A and B are shown apart, each in its own frame.
Chain A
Amino acid sequence: MPAVSKGDGMRGLAVFISDIRNCKSKEAEIKRINKELANIRSKFKGDKALDGYSKKKYVCKLLFIFLLGHDIDFGHMEAVNLLSSNKYTEKQIGYLFISVLVNSNSELIRLINNAIKNDLSSRNPTFMCLALHCIANVGSREMAEAFASEIPRILVAGDTMDSVKQSAALCLLRLYKTSPDLVLMGEWTSRVVHLLNDQHMGVVTAAISLITCLSQKNPDEFKTCVSLAVSRLSRIVSSASTDLQDYTYYFVPAPWLSCKLLRLLQCYPPPEDGAVKGRLVECLETILNKAQEPPKSKKVQHSNAKNAILFEAISLIIHYDSEPNLLVRACNQLGQFLQHRETNLRYLALESMCTLASSEFSHEAVKTHIETVINALKTERDVSVRQRAADLLYAMCDRSNAKQIVAEMLSYLETADYSIREEMVLKVAILAEKYAVDYSWYVDTILNLIRIAGDYVSEEVWYRVIQIVINRDDVQGYAAKTVFEALQAPACHENMVKVGGYILGEFGNLIAGDPRSSPLVQFNLLHSKFHLCSVPTRALLLSAYIKFINLFPETKATIQEVLRCDSQIRNSDVELQQRAVEYLKLSSIASTDVLATVLEEMPPFPERESSILAKLKKKKGPGAVSVTELDDGKREAGELNGGGDRGPDTAAMAASNASTPSPSADLLGIRSAAPVGAAQTNAGSLLVDVFSDSGPAAPSAAVNDDGFLSSAPPSEDPAPPLSEADELLNKFVCKNNGVLFENQLLQIGIKSEYRQNLGRMYLFYGNKTSVQFASFTTTVSCPGELHKPVEPLVEGGAQIQQVLNIECITDFSDAPLLNIKFSRYGGALQNLTLKLPVTINKFFQPTEMSSSDFFQRWKQLSQPQQEAQKIFKANHSMDTEVLKAKLLGLGTALLDNIDPNPENYVCAGVIQTKSQQIGCLLRLEPNAQAQMYRLTLRCSKDTVSKRLCELLAQQF
Chain B
Amino acid sequence: MMRFMLLFSRQGKLRLQKWFTSMSDREKKKIIRDMTTMVLARQPRSCNFMQWKDLKIVYKRYASLYFCLGVESQENELLALEIIHRYVELLDKYFGNVCELDIIFNFEKAYFILDEFLMGGEVQETSKQIVNRSIEASDMLQEDDSSEWYEVELFG
Would you call A589 an interface residue if the criterion is a C-beta within 8 Å of the partner chain's C-beta atoms? no
CB pair B46–A381 under 8 Å, yes or no, is yes
**Is A170 within 8 A of B124, CB to CB?**
yes
Distance (whole angstroms) from the CB of B4 to the closest CB of chain A: 12
> Given A21-B104, A256-B123, A301-B82, are A89 and B146 neighbors across the interface (CB < 8 Å)?
yes
| Residue pair B49, A344 in contact (C-beta under 8 Å) | yes
Chain B residue nearest to A12 (CB atoms) is B156
Q: A6-B94, A246-B127 are in contact. Are A381 and B43 (CB under 8 A)?
A: yes
The stretch of A198-206, A232-240, A545-553, A648-656 in contact with B is A198-206
B19: shortest Cβ distance to chain A, in Å?
8
Name the B residues within 8 Å of A16 (CB-CB): 156
The proximity string for A residues 235-260 relative to B, scoring 1 for CB distances below 8 Å and 0 otherwise, is 00000000000110100001111010
Complex: A312 Cα to B81 Cα, angstroms:
15
CA distance A21 to B9 in the complex (A): 14
- Distance of B118 from chain A, by nearest CB (Å): 9
For residue A614, CB closer than 8 A to chain B, the reply is no
Known contacts: A166-B125, A381-B43. The answer to whether A51 contacts B54 by CB under 8 A is no
> Which residues of B sit under 8 angstroms from A246, Cβ to Cβ?
127-130
Give the complex CA separation of A312 and B74 in angstroms: 10
Residues of chain B from 65 to 99 with CB closer than 8 A to chain A in the complex = 72-74, 76-79, 81-82, 85-86, 94-96
> Which residues of A are found within 8 Å of B153, using beta-carbon distances?
10-12, 53, 57
CB distance from B136 to the nearest CB of A (A): 9
Tell me, yes or no, whether A60 is within 8 Å of chain B by CB.
yes
B11 within 8 A of A: no
- Give the interface size class of chain B: 35 or more
Residue B37 is within 8 A (CB to CB) of chain A in the complex: no
Whether the Cβ atoms of B122 and A206 lie closer than 8 Å is: yes
Does A96 touch B at the CB level, under 8 Å? Answer: yes
Contacts of B112 in A (CB 8 A): 92, 96
Q: Is B63 engaged at the interface, CB distance under 8 Å to the other chain? A: no
The answer to whether B145 touches A170, judged by C-beta atoms less than 8 angstroms apart, is no
Q: How far is the CB of B45 from chain A (nearest CB, A)?
A: 7
Partner of B134, one of A60, A87, A163, A254: A163
Q: Is A126 engaged at the interface, CB distance under 8 Å to the other chain?
A: yes
Q: Are A89 and B125 in contact (CB under 8 A)?
A: no
In the assembled complex, the Cα of A209 lies from the Cα of B75 at a distance in Å of 12
How far apart are B111's CB and chain A's nearest CB, in angstroms?
6
Residues on B with C-beta less than 8 A from A51 are 149, 152
- Give chain B interface residues in 1-47, CB to chain A under 8 Å: 1, 14, 16-17, 21-22, 24, 43, 45-47
CB <8 Å contact, A347 and B22: no
State how many angstroms separate the Cβ of A315 from the closest Cβ of chain B. Answer: 8
Q: Does A344 contact B137, Cβ atoms closer than 8 Å? A: no
Closest to A391 in B: B51
B141 touches A88 (CB 8 A): yes
Given contacts A15-B156, A69-B14, A249-B82, contact A384 B51 (CB under 8 A): yes
Per-residue B-contact encoding for A21-43, CB less than 8 Å = 1, 0 else:
10000000000000010010000
Q: Which residues of A contact B128 (CB under 8 A)?
A: 246
Return the contact of A308 from the options B79, B121, B123, B145 (Cβ within 8 A): B79
Q: Is the CB of B78 within 8 A of A171?
A: no
By secondary structure, the A interface counts as helix
CA distance A259 to B123 in the complex (A): 12
Is A104 among interface residues, defined by CB-CB distance under 8 A?
A: yes
* Residue A495 CB within 8 A of the other chain: no
Known: A51-B149, A53-B149, A308-B78. A93 touches B54 (CB 8 A): no
Q: Which residues of A contact B109 (CB under 8 A)?
A: 6-7
Residue of B nearest to A266 (CB): B74
CB < 8 Å: which of B74, B96, B152 contacts A263?
A: B74
Which of A8, A17, A205 contacts B104, CB < 8 Å? Answer: A17
A57 contact set on B, CB distance < 8 A: 153
Could you tell me the distance between the alpha carbons of A348 and B51 in the complex, rounded to whole angstroms? 12
Q: Mark A849-860, 1 if CB is under 8 A from B, else 0.
A: 011100000000
When distances are taken between beta carbons in the complex, the residues of chain A under 8 Å from B102 are 2-4
A705 within 8 A of B: no
State how many angstroms separate the Cβ of B148 from the closest Cβ of chain A. 8
Q: B78–A307 contact, CB under 8 A? A: yes
Measured CB to CB, the closest approach of chain B to A258, in angstroms, equals: 10
Which residues does chain B contribute within 8 Å of A10, judged by CB atoms?
153
> Which of A132-140, A275-283, A597-605, A817-825 interfaces with chain B?
A132-140
B105 touches A1 (CB 8 A): yes
Q: Are B79 and A7 in contact (CB under 8 A)?
A: no
CB-based contact A256/B50 at 8 Å? no
- A residues less than 8 Å from B129 (CB atoms): 246
Q: A250's closest neighbor in chain B, by CB?
A: B82
Closest to B32 in A: A69
A126 to B133, CA, bound (A): 12
The A785-809 residues at the B interface (CB cut-off 8 A) are none
Contacts of A621 in B (CB 8 A): 54
Contact of A92 among B106, B137, B138, B146 (CB under 8 A): B138
- B51 with A89: CB separation less than 8 A: no
Minimum distance in angstroms from B43 CB to a CB of chain A:
7
Q: How far is the CA of A206 from the CA of B142 in the complex (A)?
A: 27
Contact check, A205 vs B82: say whether CB atoms are below 8 A apart. no
Q: Is the CB of B51 within 8 A of A202?
A: no
B73 touches A852 (CB 8 A): yes
List chain A positions with a Cβ less than 8 A from chain B.
Answer: 1-8, 10-17, 21, 36, 39, 51, 53-54, 57, 60, 63-64, 67, 69, 87-89, 92-93, 96, 100, 103-104, 126, 132-133, 136, 138-140, 163, 166-167, 170-171, 173-174, 178, 201-202, 205-206, 209, 246-247, 249, 254-257, 259, 263, 301, 304-305, 307-308, 311-312, 343-344, 346-348, 381-382, 384-385, 387, 621, 850-852
18 of the cross-chain contacts (CB-CB < 8 Å) are: A4-B106, A10-B153, A57-B153, A63-B108, A100-B111, A103-B24, A167-B124, A170-B120, A246-B129, A247-B126, A304-B79, A305-B78, A311-B76, A312-B76, A382-B47, A384-B46, A384-B49, A385-B46
Top 5 nearest A-B pairs (CB, nearest first) are A12-B156, A308-B78, A53-B149, A174-B120, A7-B139
Beyond known contacts A163-B134, A344-B81, A852-B74: 7 more, CB 8 A cutoff: A60-B108, A89-B138, A163-B130, A202-B126, A249-B86, A308-B76, A348-B78
